[in-house]
Chains A and B, each alone.
Chain A
């Protein structure tokens, strides 16, 4: 396996882990476009590794079905990133840019599928090979390259525009990597377009192929770093907060249960036992709610506080100090 292949595998793993980390620690307002972009980006990167591509393709019958799937992954990555970039640049005027991104993605991928149906009307072995070697298909793939170049340019513009305005060093670094990765992606689009065009009139020099592989691997690893740098620390921070919230909720449950007959009138979310409480999707919010219910109970009947031990009252105070902190 080549060095570029190893780099692509590392990038694919980082992107996959980043998408999972982003999903589990996503903020309430965070849009899914960057999560999907990272996920489809990892699939695109992994199938750019030739030994993996051929192994998976062989498992699918060895007739090049994976080529169509790979193009779909790249289109989905570009579409997600395109929408994500527009959300960052113009969050209040999203309708038109999103429609524009969807139209480009649909035209670039839909057109290739249409050409497949015209050039190779069957999903047989010969049909798929005909499709791959059809010069019309190669020419049409220039539209996908144009989409790649558009997204890369937008990402670079976004990074350059926002980087000076960010205070966090981690985020500034992340944006520097976005700008660098976008530069590599632009180079890939240009080189691939040159190869495609020279292929129509003659044979392209080998150096272009080597450069394309190098820049592709570089773009993938740099984007993986750009996404991973802010994602992993945030995920770790969020996991730590959730753990503390679950532990405090676990400690608070017996106190809550002790007051249950009086507390029932204030309950919004029914209590289904200690284990179900800590399994709550948002443990910090659930801990907060149970704390409020206990305080409501004390407000209506101050004598109830006297029923609790000093340790139990300390548990409530700890919860109040830590809630959402």
Chain B
């Protein structure tokens, strides 16, 4: 496991966004608490608008201070995972399962990004598990593995709810004038 979280290394981001809420607990949370926390987080998260997946990735690159490389790896399903975040020397790599549906593929990416934005503690992954799919990868540098069977735990529910929110933001395609903020008051 890495000792530092990439988001936490950006002190400005942590101070502006997460410092006001406190850290999200990594222990199991009930779903309502997870929803409340995600709702509070989305209110203070100043995402680009109108939002697209590309813009979101650039935003995360900005706060993690490293480029992101997306890699589709369908064989992750062999170890019952849908994606994970890996911090390399110069680049952060986001491995995800590419589903037959574009919708599910995008949700997998958003789920991993949500873990990063929420500063979740890394989930322990066994060396054996990773060695099956990534024999060359240093397992100590894997952050946020998403296991298929642990969705109901607190942090997974939080990441999933934030991914839902991000997906809705991307699909709703906010109009240009709403950036002014006046649209939130009249109309």
Contacts and interface: CB of A to CB of B under 8 A. Distances in A.
A309 interface: no
Give the dominant DSSP class at B's interface. helix
Contact of B185 (A88, A269, A288, A298): A88
A175 B148 contact: no
Nearest to A269: B31
A157 interface: no
Interface in A255-307: 265-269, 284-285, 288-289, 291-292, 295-296, 298-300
A170 interface: yes
A266 B160 CA distance: 10
Interface string A184-198: 000000000000000
B186 A174 contact: yes
B101 to A, nearest CB: 6
Interface residues of A, number: 49
Interface string B107-144: 10000000000000000000000000000000000000
Contacts of B99: 295, 298-299
A289 B34 CA distance: 15
A96 interface: no
Interface residues of B, number: 39
A269 B75 CA distance: 29
Nearest to B160: A268
A226 B186 contact: yes
Interface string A164-204: 01111011001100100000000000000000000000000
Nearest to A91: B181
A167 B161 contact: no
A84 interface: yes
Nearest to B187: A230
Contact of A295 (B42, B101, B183, B186): B101
A285 B160 contact: no
A162 B99 CA distance: 45
Contacts of A267: 151-152
B163 to A, nearest CB: 8
B186 A175 contact: yes
A154 interface: no
A30 B184 contact: yes
Given A34-B185, A266-B151, A288 B164 contact: yes
B181 A324 contact: no
B103 A171 contact: no
Interface in B31-68: 31, 34, 42-43
Contact of B104 (A226, A265, A268, A292): A292
Contacts of B148: 265-266, 296, 299-300
Nearest to A30: B184
B18 interface: no
Interface stretch (B3-11, B19-27, B84-92, B170-178): B170-178
B97 A324 contact: no
A231 B107 CA distance: 32
B47 to A, nearest CB: 12
B107 A230 contact: no
A289 B181 contact: no
B157 interface: yes
Interface of B: 31, 34, 42-43, 77, 80, 82, 97, 99-104, 107, 148-149, 151-152, 157, 160-161, 164, 167-168, 170-172, 175-177, 180-187
Given A27-B184, A288-B167, A298-B104, 17 more contacts: A34-B185, A85-B185, A165-B177, A166-B182, A168-B175, A171-B177, A175-B186, A178-B186, A234-B187, A265-B152, A284-B168, A292-B104, A295-B101, A296-B82, A299-B82, A323-B167, A324-B168
